Amino acid sequence: MKMAPVEGGLAIAPGTSVALKPGGLHLMFLDLKEGLKAGDTVSGSLTFERAGTVPVTFTVAPIGAQAPASEAGGHQHH
């Protein structure tokens, strides 16, 4: 399976939502200067045509994770 960038931006039709997740549309970090490890957070921003730029914080999940912990349900004990 080959990945290709979405040209010209990702369209979100009125009244709909678009999910970015493993196995589907996703954000891809390129040219990382250092490795990411689970539990780290990465600051970024998403730019919308109408809504402008919205700051976001990405939480690094382990390889193979299918959803953020907050969506997967349950919790971990340490």
Interface with Cu ion (CB under 5 A): 3, 28
Q: Are 44 and 56 in contact (CB under 8 A)?
A: yes
In the block, tokens 């009125």 appear at 14
Task: For the CB of residue 3, give the shortest distance to Cu ion in the complex, in Å.
Answer: 4
Task: Give least dist CB 5 to Cu ion, A.
Answer: 8
Residue with Cβ nearer Cu ion (13 or 28): 28
Q: How many CB atoms lie within 10 A of CB 59?
A: 13
Smallest distance from the beta carbon of 22 to Cu ion, in angstroms? Answer: 10
